[in-house]
């Protein structure tokens, strides 16, 4: 495999199409979009993969319930994800659907190699299966006999399956995780995974006899590939199919905590079995587990009726404001709550009165001096403050601390507000350097917002007459524009 040079490979989970996209899905996709835009600004070549997970019993049952053929059902829901991402201004490189023919072919190819390498054997599975989780469960996973996440009793399954020799790979995986060769973050996620490995795990079934909606096992067509194997392989099949293997392996898989173990244990195990147990250069470099959120204190659920559609937020607040509101609810690696009633307040305080008001104040001040404004260097104190904020912003983004990186930008915004209030440039004859300082800082703010609020940044640059932010400028031609974030009443 070629050296990766400047290339970065980032992924979101692929989303089940049993229901339409909600803000939980939007959260992860948005986070990877921000990282993608950030690294692209830094001149890195990023491959950003997202998509939909379309096989298995859960999807089959959802299609039956909707009275649709499974493929038609998947086609309909998958489009909803694509549309939501378009509305949220997500700039992915590729959208995979696990029902794509070329994905199915590559999955079959991968499993043939695993069989050839001696990692698969036929066996009898007798146990319980939770369709909601799409996984085999044991008594200790259940509360009062039910899956605590899906509140239903698992199915009793007894069938002949093909098994994967996961157990023999566990010591290797443990060593790789302990040595951060596969970096799992935050630390509590790493501890959780290591705890599970240390407890011991059995070999897993990689095929199902009783599930018809799936990829057929190439050597035994009466069985379908276990949906999690099919799904995890998407990260591999896409690059193979597009001839983009120079991006391999993944630099970051972003996941929620419910799917952490699949990514940290099963996925590296499959790759070790395929590439050989010494091929650690083929494994994901980092798996980051983001927080899970509730809405107004409750788990999002169709029954409660509190599932938030990202499109509704976009309609109410606009795209960039929705991006801002979603990423500022709580620190990225923590769980938290989204309070819908507080979103208006946050919009008004941070965006309308904060960023929007500052931009229009600075533009108005600059226009008093004329549309053409000469820009000098930033004063010493201002420069020091700016350098410090930018350093923290970079550290935070490199650590996926999105809300903190945004706080850094807002520190700059409040610095400017205070600076204007103190200097009162409208009362002074000689205020050119004040205006010049403010214009420089506004440019920096817009630059730092490029990954987060791309359209807002463009509008600010337009009002400042800046075509290329990365080029030096000594004169700006200011243009009045519309308010960036009109106040909500
Ligand atoms: N299809 C699997 C993933 C396969 S990846 C090879 C799946 N899909 S999912 O649609 O159920 O969930 C996708 C992601 O959305 C998971 O990472 C999950 O944690 C995340 N979220 C779902 N609800 C969420 C919240 N309420 N909050 C934050 N993230 C949430 O699992």
What are the start-end ranges of the H helices in 319-463?
A: 319-327, 340-346, 357-368, 380-398, 402-423, 432-449, 454-463
pTM beyond 0.85: yes
Q: What is the pLDDT of residue 299?
A: 87
For residue 82, how far is its CA from the centre of ligand 1 (angstroms)? Answer: 16
Q: What percent of the chain has pLDDT over 90?
A: 78
290 among known catalytic residues: no
Say how far apart CA 14 and CA 100 lie, in whole Å: 13
Parent domain of 378: 344-477
Say how far apart CA 466 and CA 483 lie, in whole Å: 18
Residue 69 pLDDT exceeds 90: yes
Q: What is the pLDDT of residue 125?
A: 87
pLDDT in tens, 101-119: 999 999 999 999 999 999 9
CATH number of the domain where residue 437 is located: 1.10.730.10
pLDDT in tens, 77-101: 999 999 999 999 999 999 999 999 9
In a domain, 203, yes or no: no
Residue 269 contacts by C-beta under 8 Å, 6 or more apart in sequence?
A: 164, 166, 169, 170, 173
In a domain, 239, yes or no: no
274 lines ligand 1 (CB under 6 A): no
Residue 382 pLDDT exceeds 70: yes
pLDDT in tens, 450-476: 999 999 999 999 999 998 888 888 889
Q: Which of 258, 264, 402 to mutate to test the pocket of ligand 1 (most atoms within 8 A of CB)?
A: 258
In a domain, 158, yes or no: no
Q: What is the pLDDT of residue 4?
A: 82
In a domain, 130, yes or no: no
Average pLDDT over residues 315-338: 93
If pLDDT is split at 50, 70 and 90, which confidence band does 3 have? low
Whole-number mean pLDDT of the chain? 94
In a domain, 12, yes or no: no
Active site residue: 58, 103, 115, 130, which one?
Answer: 130
Which protein residue has the closest C-alpha to ligand 1 atom 10?
15
How many domains in the chain? Answer: 1
The three-class DSSP label of residue 94 is strand
pLDDT in tens, 405-452: 999 999 999 999 999 999 998 887 777 899 999 999 999 999 999 999
In a domain, 204, yes or no: no
Range scoring the smallest mean pLDDT among 48-57, 110-119, 230-239, 369-378: 369-378
What pairing do the DSSP bridges indicate for beta strands 286-290 and 475-477? unpaired
293 lines ligand 1 (CB under 6 A): yes
Average pLDDT over residues 257-265: 96
Residue 1 pLDDT exceeds 50: no
Element (H, E) at 480: none
74 among known catalytic residues: no
Residue 2 pLDDT exceeds 60: no
In a domain, 308, yes or no: no
Q: What is the pLDDT of residue 64?
A: 96
Residue 187 pLDDT exceeds 80: yes
Average pLDDT over residues 117-146: 90
What pairing do the DSSP bridges indicate for beta strands 293-295 and 336-338? parallel
For residue 13, how far is its CA from the centre of ligand 1 (angstroms)? Answer: 7
130 among known catalytic residues: yes
In a domain, 283, yes or no: no
292 lines ligand 1 (CB under 6 A): yes
Range scoring the smallest mean pLDDT among 7-21, 43-57, 134-148, 210-224: 134-148
């Amino acid at each position: 495999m070629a050296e990766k040079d400047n290339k970065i490979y980032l992924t979101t989970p692929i989303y089940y199409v049993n229901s339409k996209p909600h803000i939980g899905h939007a959260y992860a996709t948005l986070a990877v979009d921000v990282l993608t835009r950030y690294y692209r600004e830094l001149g890195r070549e990023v491959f950003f993969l997202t998509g939909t997970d379309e096989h298995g019993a859960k999807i089959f049952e959802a299609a039956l319930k909707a009275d649709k053929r499974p493929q038609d059902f998947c086609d309909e829901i998958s489009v909803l994800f694509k549309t939501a991402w378009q509305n949220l201004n997500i700039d992915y490189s590729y959208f995979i659907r696990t029902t794509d023919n070329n994905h199915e072919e590559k999955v079959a190819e991968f499993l043939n190699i695993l069989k050839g390498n001696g990692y698969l054997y036929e066996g009898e599975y007798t146990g319980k299966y939770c369709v909601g989780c799409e996984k085999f469960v044991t008594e200790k996973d259940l509360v009062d006999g039910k899956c605590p996440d899906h509140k239903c009793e698992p199915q009793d399954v007894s069938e002949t399956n093909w098994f994967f020799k996961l157990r023999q790979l566990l010591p290797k995986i443990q060593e790789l995780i302990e040595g951060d060769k596969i970096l799992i973050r935050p630390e509590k996620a790493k501890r959780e995974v290591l705890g599970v490995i240390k407890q011991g795990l059995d070999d897993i079934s990689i095929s199902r006899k009783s599930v018809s909606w799936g990829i057929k096992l190439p050597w035994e067509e009466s069985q379908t590939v276990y949906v999690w194997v099919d799904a995890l392989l998407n990260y591999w099949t896409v690059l193979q199919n597009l001839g983009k293997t120079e991006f391999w392996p993944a630099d970051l898989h972003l996941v929620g905590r419910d799917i952490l173990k699949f990514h940290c244990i099963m996925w590296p195990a499959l790759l070790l079995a395929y590439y050989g147990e010494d091929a650690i250069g083929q494994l994901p470099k980092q798996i980051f587990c983001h927080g899970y959120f509730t809405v107004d204190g409750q788990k999002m659920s169709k029954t409660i009726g509190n599932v938030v559609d990202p499109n509704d937020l976009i309609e109410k607040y606009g795209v960039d404001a929705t991006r801002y509101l979603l990423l500022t609810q709580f620190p990225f690696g923590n769980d938290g709550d989204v309070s819908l009633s507080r979103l208006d307040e946050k919009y008004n305080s941070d965006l309308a009165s904060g960023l929007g008001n500052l931009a229009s104040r600075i533009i108005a001040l600059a226009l008093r001096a004329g549309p053409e404004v000469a820009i000098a260097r930033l004063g010493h104190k201002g420069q020091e403050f700016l350098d410090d904020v930018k350093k923290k912003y970079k550290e935070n983004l490199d650590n996926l601390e999105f809300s903190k990186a945004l706080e850094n930008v807002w520190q700059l915004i409040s610095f400017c507000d205070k600076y204007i209030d103190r200097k009162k440039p409208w009362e002074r004859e000689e205020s050119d350097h004040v205006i010049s300082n403010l214009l420089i800082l506004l440019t920096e703010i817009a630059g730092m917002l490029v990954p987060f609020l791309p359209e807002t940044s463009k509008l600010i640059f337009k009002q400042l007459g800046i075509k290329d932010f990365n080029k030096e400028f000594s004169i700006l031609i200011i243009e009045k524009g519309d308010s960036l974030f009109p106040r909500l009443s």
